[in-house]
Amino acid sequence: MSKGLGAGPATVVLVSGSGTNLQAIIDQVQQGHLRVRLVAVLSDVPDAYGLQRAQAAGIPTVTVNYKAYPDRPSAERALAAELAAIDPAIVVLAGFMRILPDAIVQAYQGRMLNVHPSLLPRFRGLHTYERVLEAGDAWHGTTVHFVVPELDAGPAIIQYRVAVKPTEDIASLRERVQRGEYLVYPQAIGWLASGRLTLRDGQAWLDDNPLAAPVQVDEAH
């Protein structure tokens, strides 16, 4: 029997922290709703809780502890070597908080997805919840996108939107947005795994139609 969890294209998930998105993906695979084989979970943080989630699900884990390397390029070379050894068809960034070097991004172009907690192109980078509350925006949410060398700039595939309530704080907003991530991220991964979703000429295509705008899902009331 092959190693990992599930059946389908070999998929590696990269995490730096809690791994609640990883858990949502594992759940979908275990329930038979998502056809991928989770061959490894890789983390840059040795005690990331996501690694424990992977172990509990029987998925092999790999750690590339960036802090144990003399400099960032050597850590990145180690990461590239681990990924090459895993040889995944699909790379899923799920709360992976390192910027990947262009060489790695290019090696998996069209096969690497990320989930970012904002309605891209609004609020690339960090602290999106603080920034959206400060800006007083009416809407916030999360975006699944293809990864390209420019940070958080790849073609958007699906967005989940929540209306920002007047009484909102960072924790309540994050909770609602992450609930959406657990829906839309497995969905997008499934599209990619089944061949329905592709990256062509710098654009996301779904079912042979270019996505002029990401598929939009709004929080149910």
Residues that bind ligand GAR (CB under 6 A): 15, 17-21, 50, 94-95, 115-117, 142, 178, 181
What distance in Å separates the CA atoms of residue 104 and residue 97, rounded to the nearest whole number? 15
What distance in Å separates the CA atoms of residue 139 and residue 80, rounded to the nearest whole number? 37
What distance in Å separates the CA atoms of residue 84 and residue 130, rounded to the nearest whole number? 37
Q: Which is nearer to ligand GAR, 17 or 101 (CB)?
A: 17
Q: Which is nearer to ligand GAR, 18 or 63 (CB)?
A: 18
Q: Which is nearer to ligand GAR, 4 or 180 (CB)?
A: 180
33 among known catalytic residues:
no
What distance in Å separates the CA atoms of residue 150 and residue 176, rounded to the nearest whole number? 27
Residue nearest ligand GAR, CB atom distance: 95
Nearest to 136 by CA among 171, 176, 178, 173: 173
Which of 33, 116, 127, 140 is flagged as catalytic? 116
> Shortest Cβ distance from residue 208 to ligand GAR (Å)?
29
Nearest to 86 by CA among 103, 104, 72, 113: 104
> Shortest Cβ distance from residue 188 to ligand GAR (Å)?
13
Q: Can you name the residues that pair with 175 across neighbouring β-strands?
A: none
Work out whether the CA dihedral 186, 192, 198, 199 comes out positive or negative.
positive
Q: Which is nearer to ligand GAR, 75 or 184 (CB)?
A: 184
> Shortest Cβ distance from residue 19 to ligand GAR (Å)?
5
> Shortest Cβ distance from residue 143 to ligand GAR (Å)?
9
Annotated catalytic residues are 116
